[in-house]
Structure 1
Amino acid sequence: MKVYISNYLSRSISIIDYSTLELEKEIYFNESIYPHHFCIDKDEGLIYIPSSSNGILYVVSLDTKKIVDSISIGGNLSQIMLYNNEIFISNEDSNSIYIIDKKDLTPIGIIGVDNMPHGFKFDIQTKKLYVPCINSIVCIDLLTKEVVRKIDVDFKAWHISIDKKKKEIYTSTLDGKIIILDKDTLEVKKILEGFLLPVEISFNYMENKFYVTDLGYKNVKILDYPTGKYLGYINVCGIPQGLEVSKDERLLFVSDTQKNCIKVYETCSNMLIKEIKVGKEPTTIVCV
């Protein structure tokens, strides 16, 4: 398994070997590409990077480390995912989700949503895409490409995570809250407070807890999974942003945008076991 990290200011992708926790390689890009969100096509050996600076989607070879294709979409591109040979990209400027054919990068369609769709998450069980927008949550059917559900809310939704065990979704907000919603109805079930600027949310079912990077308090909050009760925090001693629990749930990866490193913690003890130097302003972490 590999751990991929986007480094926004150094315009690069770092690749860490999971078994050794050593930096394996760094892929540098030209002046146009500022990677924030990205996705990996492991079978094809490709990275898809939407650049918010110029509205272009770049396709980069993991083997040659070079751009092999691109398409100009325009706008402030953000989150990206692959599904069924299709690429889904959120565009904050046009308040929409763009759909691109993976094979030849031709446009398939555009789905209009609400204001500033920054992050989104795909639910593999129901084949639905959940999109947090400012003051609403939108659910899109990936087969019909239609909005099938929407709920207006009085909080500023930002990032979102799917609970794989319960029929729930968790969204962080710019208002300093974590909102738990019913996945089917989008009704609000619980509101968790005590955050300043929560960003990413990751679940650890083995340890029965979940984590939230709090950019405002500069720590990682630890909460009880069954109840949502606050258990404590990890003092990052930097600025945490990206967050990912390893597939075996033994390790927690946190990107520190202040010290330009990935901090690795044991989930059983919350102890820091390694700091891995990467590029400038590491943000998104993907374990594949």
Structure 2
Amino acid sequence: MRIGKCAVTVSVVIAMLLGGCAMETKEQAQARLGGGTGKTGEAAAAPQSEAGKLTAVQFYVPSEKENNLSVIDIPTGKVVGTVKLSEAPSTVVFASTMREAYVANMNSSTVSVINTQTLKVEKEIPVGPMPHGMVLSPDNKTLYVAAVADQFVYLVDTKERKEAGTIDLGTGAKTNYMSLFGEKLYISDHENNKVYVVNVKTKATVLTIPTGKTPRAVKVSDDGKKLFVPTAGEGALEVYNTDTGKLETKIAVAAGATDVVIADDGKSAIVTSMEGNAATFVDLAAAKATETITGLPGARHIAYNRQQTKAYVTLSGSDEVAVIDIATRKPAERIKVGATPHGIQIKALPGIGGSC
């Protein structure tokens, strides 16, 4: 009898956890958020507590000029919450529990720690000048922060919530965006046209990869064998061998290549181009661009939804997030957010909201 009760309890808990967007229609989600059937992108009438629901699948978008962060509910496409931040917030990362978010504030040289349930800033951590790109260690203990205005990567102890050391890349180096795979940290230097590869245990640079002009966001393949580097000055997506640092492929995309997302199967990618106001679909196997979507003002950063059926692009030139339908390769809608949106990151617990 006890076993039966336990089984029922477990079933109820699982059903509750899965009661996010995986089991609700768009209309049900709108009703849940109290947003009615208003236009996409209008602020919902839902309280902040609902926006902070742990199982909600959302995008967080920092807005540089408005000094805030917009919370987008994925099923409805509505902004359901905002968080006031310090000066010029740029990028955001989440702890694996999705209970904390970290936002780099460029002009205040700090990192904000956000409680994602209350949507409140719990701590502001001083780091180096103009913090920009960030990555979090898999154990959630160390946040690596690139500071655009100097040669260091700053290490933040997330438990103590304070700076806990630096990685020195050498005189004249500039840090921008980062990607972490295993013990290797990849850091782009947009001024010196390089990517530094650092062993995070020894804090030593183990490889320096010369790139094309103005490398921006960097991504590593799931198997760790390839490094993808959009180079703004080349209007290209460059692909490097991570063991040797040698260029394997250079694929022409729109001018001002900025960020890239790689499909789970490793066969395709999408590259945003801030100066080119575009997003380019790339066939990685054939090493060529297949289609370019134009008319995306200041297309900056990009993120997939969970099922990779849509891509979300921050438009710094129009204060919006563009939603691109992957099947049709066309913009499906636009969501109004704060002024000059910069980064974008998905908040989604593993196994929750799988259809979003």
The question of 1:37 aligning with 2:133 is answered yes
How far the C-alpha of 1:206 sits from its partner, in A, is 4.2
> 1:160 aligns to what?
260
- Once residues 261 and 101 of structure 2 are traced to their aligned partners in structure 1, the CA distance between those partners, rounded to angstroms, is 19
> 1:263 aligns to what?
none
Q: Which amino acid aligns with 2:209?
A: I
How far the C-alpha of 1:91 sits from its partner, in A, is 0.6
Determine what percentage of the aligned residue pairs are the same residue: 21
- Structure 2 residue aligned with 1:117, among 215, 218, 233? 215
- Once residues 60 and 90 of structure 1 are traced to their aligned partners in structure 2, the CA distance between those partners, rounded to angstroms, is 19
How far the C-alpha of 1:113 sits from its partner, in A, is 0.9
- Once residues 207 and 104 of structure 2 are traced to their aligned partners in structure 1, the CA distance between those partners, rounded to angstroms, is 27
Between 169-178 and 133-142, the greater mean CA deviation after superposition:
133-142
> 1:254 aligns to what?
none
For structure 1, the residue ranges without an aligned partner over 5 or more in a row are: 252-266, 269-288
- Structure 2 residue aligned with 1:48, among 129, 139, 144? 144
CA separation of 1:44 and 1:172: change in aligned 2, threshold 3 A: closer
CA separation of 1:247 and 1:60: change in aligned 2, threshold 3 A: same
| CA deviation map 1:93-136 (0-9, x unaligned) | 22111111111211211011100001111220463111011222
CA separation of 1:144 and 1:238: change in aligned 2, threshold 3 A: same
- Once residues 36 and 8 of structure 1 are traced to their aligned partners in structure 2, the CA distance between those partners, rounded to angstroms, is 6
**Structure (1 or 2) with the greater helix fraction:** 2
Asked if the contact 1:14–1:23 (Cα under 8 Å) also holds between the matched residues in 2, the reply is no
- Once residues 157 and 242 of structure 1 are traced to their aligned partners in structure 2, the CA distance between those partners, rounded to angstroms, is 15
> 1:147 aligns to what?
247
Q: Which amino acid aligns with 1:23?
A: K
Give secondary structure in 1 for the equivalent of 2:256: strand
Q: 1:190-229 alignment to 2 at 5 Å? A: 190-206=291-307, 208-229=309-330
- Once residues 175 and 69 of structure 1 are traced to their aligned partners in structure 2, the CA distance between those partners, rounded to angstroms, is 38
**Structure (1 or 2) with the greater strand fraction:** 1
How far the C-alpha of 1:165 sits from its partner, in A, is 4.8
How far the C-alpha of 1:214 sits from its partner, in A, is 0.6
> 1:282 aligns to what?
none
The question of 1:85 aligning with 2:186 is answered no
What's the RMSD between the two structures over aligned residues? 2.5
CA separation of 1:152 and 1:189: change in aligned 2, threshold 3 A: closer
| CA deviation map 1:153-179 (0-9, x unaligned) | 562211111122562111111211101
Give secondary structure in 2 for the equivalent of 1:15: strand
- Once residues 102 and 78 of structure 1 are traced to their aligned partners in structure 2, the CA distance between those partners, rounded to angstroms, is 17
Asked if the contact 1:92–1:118 (Cα under 8 Å) also holds between the matched residues in 2, the reply is yes
How far the C-alpha of 1:250 sits from its partner, in A, is 11
| CA deviation map 1:22-69 (0-9, x unaligned) | 336323215x43211111114261111121111212212112233322
For structure 2, the residue ranges without an aligned partner over 5 or more in a row are: 1-96
Asked if the contact 1:75–1:92 (Cα under 8 Å) also holds between the matched residues in 2, the reply is no
Asked if the contact 2:177–2:187 (Cα under 8 Å) also holds between the matched residues in 1, the reply is yes
| CA deviation map 1:209-231 (0-9, x unaligned) | 22111110111112212111222
Q: Which amino acid aligns with 1:168?
A: S
- Structure 2 residue aligned with 1:59, among 155, 166, 172? 155
Give the count of matched residue pairs.
251
TM-score by length of 2: 0.64
- Structure 2 residue aligned with 1:71, among 153, 156, 167? 167
Q: Which has the larger radius of gyration?
A: 2
> 1:180 aligns to what?
281
The question of 1:106 aligning with 2:204 is answered yes
CA separation of 1:210 and 1:248: change in aligned 2, threshold 3 A: farther
> 1:235 aligns to what?
336
> 2:237 aligns to what?
137
